[in-house]
Amino acid sequence: MDSLVQNANPKLQLTPTQFAAIEPNAYILSQLSQRPSSNGVPTRANAREQFEFRDMTVTVGGFTHANGSSTVRIGDTSVVCGIVAEQIYTSEVPSWDVSQASVSANKRRRLASSGKTLLDNDEETDQAYDNEESRHIEDRCLLVPNVTMNTGCTPGYVPGAPPSEDEQSISNNLLGLLRSTRMIQAEDLRIWYQPPNLDAGESDSSNETQLPELKAFWVLHIDIMVMSYGGNIFDAAWTALVAALRHVTIPYAWWDVDKEIVLCSDDASKAHKLSLREMPTSCWFSVFEPQPRPASQDEVARGSLGDGWWIFADPDGYEESVCEENVWCVVSKDKNGKTRVYRAQNVGGSTVDSEVMHNLLQISAKKWEDMKSIIDEVVATGSPRAVAWKGKSYSA
């Protein structure tokens, strides 16, 4: 391709940027075949190796009015996430059934008598409690993630248009992931009222404490704004969401019997953080096929996969526009170092088979370890301070 360009009339010579805009497939292919890096690995047009992720910066606590907030930059992509907690009273919930809260109320009492807190004992969670927990979060819509693309974030964005398919499916994927990871525990979002034991000392049942009543829920509105679209929005959005959730502080709230409303305390020492169960990492890969898709059954029969294909980790906007097949993995590791798959999605082509997918899941699991330490570090600093991560290359 290059020789063609050089032999042409010098006045018609194309600059690399023009070449990249006109023939993106040929441009990326020529970069891959021409620029082996120091260790002989093919390099992408953006000078990264195939499985090299971009530099990342994570900041938490930028917004003073949100309960939790974060900013994530991955290369040219930047995303802001703010989480606000609002209350919903159980009296306002249509068809609220007092018995719905009975399992957790019993458990709460049992734990209170044994001197443990509800969140300490992962081992003891029985299935009924687990089911009720996820049902509360799902049925009452206690988590409301939403992704918005801002004017100017990408040339393809049309101001004033309804939310695009991208925005809608990212919002839905965030919600689905929050559901399937069961990251947030419903207990963190409950506001209880413990009725006083009025007949204490009078009857024999004085040691029997009253059953606590569930009076309200916290609803978490998770708003994610895409400030700049540089490819791989989902990874940025998910990282921002996890960092912001780790940063969320929920004030101590109690039910005031006389006023019949929930009151919040402004005492910061009484406020609590969310105790997240898991913290999986999302990794997005694009599959680059230089050959255009076949145009007839004859071409299919001849087979056009011979030209090879490449996988790009953490694709930028330019690469995303060229690649049709995408692989998305959400993984974490448990205490024993075993890889857990939360989401895997391979759609849009026929190149990636189960072996390649297995490798990509393992690469994602390696990235999880790094991501975990970054977010732990960010949250530990407390005050708004950016923690940078130098992009690096992984192998399965």
Partner 1 sequence: MAAPIASISDAFRADGSASYKCPVTGYRVLAAVNAPVELPARKGALKPQEATVEVSIRPGKLSPSVVEKSAESILRRMLASVILRRHAGYPRRGVVITLAVVEGEPVGRSGTYLPLMPALLHSSLLALMSAAVPLSCTFMTLFFAVTRSDEIVRDPTPAAIKDAESLHVISFSSTGRTLLDLVDGPCDLDIWATIHQQAKDIYQGAAVPGPDGDISMDEESNNAPGDIIRETVEDRLRRDYRWEFETL
Residues interacting with partner 1, by CB under 8 A? 127, 138, 141, 156, 158, 165-166, 168-169, 171-173, 175-176, 178-181, 278, 292-297, 300, 324-326, 331, 338-354, 357-358, 361-362, 365
Considering beta carbons, is residue 389 or 394 the nearer one to partner 1? 394
Amino acid at 145: P
Q: How far is the CB of 137 from partner 1 (least distance, A)?
A: 9
Considering beta carbons, is residue 234 or 255 the nearer one to partner 1? 234
Q: How far is the CB of 158 from partner 1 (least distance, A)?
A: 8
Considering beta carbons, is residue 347 or 386 the nearer one to partner 1? 347
Q: How far is the CB of 17 from partner 1 (least distance, A)?
A: 20
Q: How far is the CB of 177 from partner 1 (least distance, A)?
A: 9
Q: Compute the distance between CA of residue 69 and CA of residue 84 in angstroms, rounded to an integer.
A: 9
Considering beta carbons, is residue 62 or 176 the nearer one to partner 1? 176
Q: Compute the distance between CA of residue 123 and CA of residue 145 in angstroms, rounded to an integer.
A: 29
Backbone conformation region of residue 234, classed left if phi is above 0, alpha if psi is from -120 to 50, else beta = alpha
Q: How far is the CB of 350 from partner 1 (least distance, A)?
A: 4
Considering beta carbons, is residue 368 or 389 the nearer one to partner 1? 368
Q: Compute the distance between CA of residue 18 and CA of residue 34 in angstroms, rounded to an integer.
A: 18
The SS3 assignment for 218 reads strand
Which parts of the chain fold into alpha helices (H)?
Answer: 2-7, 16-22, 24-34, 102-114, 127-139, 165-181, 233-247, 297-302, 317-322, 354-381
Is residue 248 within 8 Å of residue 273, measured between CB atoms? yes
Considering beta carbons, is residue 273 or 333 the nearer one to partner 1? 333
Q: How far is the CB of 51 from partner 1 (least distance, A)?
A: 18
3-class DSSP string for 41-81: CEECCCCCECCECCCEEEEECCCCCCCEEEEEEECCEEEEE
Q: How many CA atoms lie within 13 A of 187 on its CB side?
A: 20
